[in-house]
Structure 1
């Protein structure tokens, strides 16, 4: 639970950071707005066409008696739209990060600089970084699609499909949202996709604490646009925690002490008060 709360804390800290650095918030809205317009059009189209798709893939239900035919197709329509929404939430971050690659890299560097310590740089050209980001995003989205197909199929299970599966879908969305956002700072630190995923697995509750509230917020399209710069800032702060070197262990007390003339002599154990003393 401590890591879960810490993950939420990094999300809040990231939003506070960009609010305190207004120009970064302003510049960060443009990539999200461009992506939002494209996604909104796609979801509207899916909303209008989901019922036709449900009818097309269930020709065997034409001869079913009422209400079973309608119930099957209505359920399938809802699941198709939810699956599309699930993919939109996941891919929105990846596409927005690609559109705003140059800006978000600069934002992440500025967070590192403001927080002090080393400011890592990949040393790669912009186009090379863009290619690596696009390639890794496709690999991550392939994993997400696999999870999505499984969850979509489990959505037909009575009771479980309407209760447990949406929660699992939200957790998957949040986890991979966090992966996409932390990739900005981790890629500057030279971490490959496999290394990034292995690192996130060491602190799953921290990752879910950051990603799940963000996935919920991203269900509201306009909110996603405004939260995006702060999400990158918060993910950078989270990466600083994940990659920080462990605190050194306190040194054991020396068995020797110095006499008045500077000669080391064995340390004498401290003695408590004698019994009966006041």
Structure 2
């Protein structure tokens, strides 16, 4: 239970860190805003042209008697939009991190320097294109895993009683785990920690991960909140990554910007 509280404190420390470093917070908002606009445009397009797409994809229903054709296609249109919405929720963090790789990498490095006793931060020394490739590849693997869980939990949702009580709770914890993996990947990938090892680290401290990722996942359900919490989430995940690797941390990451600048 101690780890559960520690995970939540890392989330709060990350938000506090960016609140005290306004410049980094401002830059950190840009990727989320860009991704939000792209996803909103895609969902609007799906809402506008989804019905036409379903009609095109189901020519066999043209000869059905009324109202069955309309009901069938209407149902498929709703399902199509729901799947698009689910996919956007599952991939928003991964896409935001991919779009904002340079921004979040810089933010994470600044957090490391701020809390490191010697004022240094690990560097990957990889070219940007290579970092983007690794980030995109690993994010795709995580999204596939998350989709498998989503399908499984969706199916279990039809189980009486359990599907309406236990399954949603499990879903929030699963979401929190994968969300934390995506966020800690910014700092861990820079340290050369591969995906398999990252997952092993997170599984070894599941309550810490849940304490960080589950409340964040719940907050992300509120429209637009994800955009404003992302910079702090990356900062908090960097602090937690140091804990997972047993790295020494000076203070709580809330050092004044002036003090950090003096050390740089």
TM-score by length of 2: 0.79
The answer as to 2:65 corresponding to 1:26 is no
Asked whether the 8 Å contact 1:83–1:148 carries over to 2, the reply is: no
**What is the number of equivalent residue pairs in this alignment?**
238
- Secondary structure (helix, strand or coil) at the match of 2:159 reads coil
The answer as to 2:101 corresponding to 1:101 is yes
CA distance in 1, matches of 2:219, 2:176: 10
Q: In 2 relative to 1, CA 224–92 (structure 1 residues): closer, same or farther, beyond 3 Å?
A: same
Q: In 2 relative to 1, CA 182–148 (structure 1 residues): closer, same or farther, beyond 3 Å?
A: same
The answer as to 2:38 corresponding to 1:38 is yes
Matches within 5 A, 1:152-171: 152-171=154-173
CA distance in 2, matches of 1:93, 1:189: 21
Higher relative contact order, chain-length normalized (CA < 8 Å, sep 6+): 2
Larger helix share, 1 or 2: 2
Q: In 2 relative to 1, CA 79–6 (structure 1 residues): closer, same or farther, beyond 3 Å?
A: farther
CA distance in 1, matches of 2:83, 2:215: 19
Summarize deviations over 1:182-207 as a string: whole Å, max 9, x none: 00000111100000000101100100
In angstroms, what is the RMSD of aligned CA positions? Answer: 3.1
CA distance in 1, matches of 2:132, 2:19: 27
CA distance in 1, matches of 2:39, 2:95: 10
- Secondary structure (helix, strand or coil) at the match of 1:221 reads coil
Q: Among residues 216, 224, 246, which one is paired with 1:244 in the alignment?
A: 246
CA distance in 1, matches of 2:227, 2:90: 14
Matches within 5 A, 1:106-255: 106-117=106-117, 118-244=120-246
CA distance in 2, matches of 1:125, 1:33: 25
1:91 matched residue in structure 2: 91
Summarize deviations over 1:116-164 as a string: whole Å, max 9, x none: 2341111111110000000000111111111111111112222222222
Asked whether the 8 Å contact 1:79–1:155 carries over to 2, the reply is: no
CA distance in 1, matches of 2:221, 2:41: 15
Summarize deviations over 1:40-74 as a string: whole Å, max 9, x none: 23445666759x97xx7xx9xx99xxxxxx9xx98
The runs of 5 or more residues in structure 2 that have no matched partner are: 66-70, 249-264
Q: In 2 relative to 1, CA 46–3 (structure 1 residues): closer, same or farther, beyond 3 Å?
A: farther
CA distance in 1, matches of 2:196, 2:40: 32
The runs of 5 or more residues in structure 1 that have no matched partner are: 64-69, 247-278
CA distance in 2, matches of 1:157, 1:221: 29
Which is further off, 201-210 or 112-121?
112-121
Q: In 2 relative to 1, CA 245–226 (structure 1 residues): closer, same or farther, beyond 3 Å?
A: closer
Q: In 2 relative to 1, CA 124–138 (structure 1 residues): closer, same or farther, beyond 3 Å?
A: same
Summarize deviations over 1:90-111 as a string: whole Å, max 9, x none: 3111100111111111100000
Asked whether the 8 Å contact 1:15–1:233 carries over to 2, the reply is: yes
